[in-house]
């Protein structure tokens, strides 16, 4: 049986593990072939200071997509991940890629990670990108994975309760909707999912200054487990378990970047963290 193939459309950094520099490795460890279309090339995550590099010209990205189409690769793609875009024009290329892949393989899974910002730093993408995610990309998704701040932007309102988060997830209209880094009471943080109308929650103690790239890694692991045939709930439990194990490894090693290489065994072998039904 051939390995599943995932098209991953997101950022690439020279140093550290965010975007495709995290997702591609996680996908490969979990048995997937990876085709990368980088939306930006940066020296490092902007959290380290102003990076070098910049956005890939959308015409170049579109030409790369055309090249993949010409050699017949798109029909072999089992899943598409879209993350950090860089420009609104790149969002249009990503939508075109999804539509072409779905035409070639209607069974392909589509995961949209609407990278817009976070509660610590606010919005850090160009004007119009949130709208591209909301209006063009999320309607194409089988899975959507915003963080707390991004869900608020997509919903157009503050979200202060689990019930409000569930309402916002339901409004996205996606079969598997997941909000990460959901701020809960008493210093807890949650991963809240709406799986074909059924709500599930996993809560953990919030960690100060977690490493960058956790969301990218979670999305990659979730996709890998889905295309391997796990149910959405089981796939998410495995992905959440991996992320929590990676956080523990980063703390133990004193790292501010994901220790993907040192802790690679955790990608495949970290125990799942079950998500519990809400009353």
What is residue 16's predicted lDDT score, i.e. its pLDDT? Answer: 87
What is the band of 120 on the pLDDT scale with cuts at 50, 70, 90? Answer: confident
Residue 55 located in a structural domain: yes
Say how many domains are in the chain. 1
* Average pLDDT of the residues in 114-130: 88
- Residue 171 domain-assigned (yes or no): yes
Whole-prediction pTM: 0.96
Average pLDDT over residues 53-75: 96
Q: Are 223 and 79 in contact (CB under 8 A)?
A: yes
What is the spatial distance between Cα 271 and Cα 279, in angstroms, rounded to a whole number? 25
Domain harbouring 90, CATH code:
3.40.1190.20
**107 domain residue, yes or no:** yes
Q: How far apart are CA 60 and CA 241, in angstroms?
A: 37
Q: Which domain holds residue 88?
A: 5-273
pLDDT of 80 higher than 80: yes
Q: Does residue 279 lie in a domain region?
A: no
User: Residues of the chain with pLDDT > 90: what percent?
Assistant: 85
Closest listed residue to residue 221, CA positions, set 90, 141, 100, 113: 113
Q: Report if residue 162 sits inside a domain.
A: yes
Cα 90 from Cα 87, distance rounded (Å): 5
Q: Provide the 10 A C-beta neighbour count for residue 140.
A: 18
Q: For residue 278, is it within any domain?
A: no
Q: Is 136 among the domain residues?
A: yes
In a domain, residue 122? The reply is yes
Q: Tens digit of pLDDT for each residue in 192-236?
A: 999 999 999 999 999 888 888 999 999 999 999 999 999 999 999
């Amino acid at each position: 049986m051939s390995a599943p193939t995932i098209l991953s459309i997101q950022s690439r950094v020279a140093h550290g593990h965010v975007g495709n520099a995290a997702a591609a490795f996680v996908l490969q460890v979990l048995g997937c072939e990876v085709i990368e279309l980088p939306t930006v090339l940066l020296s490092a995550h902007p959290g380290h200071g102003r990076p070098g590099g910049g956005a890939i010209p959308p015409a170049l990205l579109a030409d790369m997509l055309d090249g993949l189409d010409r050699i017949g690769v798109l029909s072999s793609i089992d899943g598409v991940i879209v993350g950090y875009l860089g420009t609104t024009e790149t969002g249009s290329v990503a939508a075109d890629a999804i539509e072409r892949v779905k035409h070639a393989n209607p069974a392909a899974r589509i995961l949209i990670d609407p990278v817009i910002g976070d509660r610590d730093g606010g919005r850090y993408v160009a004007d119009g990108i949130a709208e591209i995610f909301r209006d063009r990309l999320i309607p194409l998704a089988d899975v959507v994975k915003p963080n707390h701040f991004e869900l608020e932007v997509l919903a157009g309102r503050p979200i202060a309760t689990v019930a409000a988060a569930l309402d916002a997830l339901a409004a996205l209209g996606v079969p598997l909707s997941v909000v990460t880094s959901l701020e809960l009471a008493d210093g807890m943080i949650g991963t809240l999912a709406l799986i074909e109308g059924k709500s599930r929650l996993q809560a953990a103690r919030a960690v100060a200054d977690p490493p960058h790239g956790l969301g990218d890694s979670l999305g990659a692991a979730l996709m890998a487990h889905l295309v391997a045939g796990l149910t959405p709930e089981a796939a998410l439990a495995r992905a959440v378990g991996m992320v929590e194990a990676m956080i523990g490894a980063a703390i133990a090693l004193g790292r501010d970047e994901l220790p993907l290489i040192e802790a690679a065994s955790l990608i495949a072998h970290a125990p799942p963290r079950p998500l519990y039904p809400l009353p």
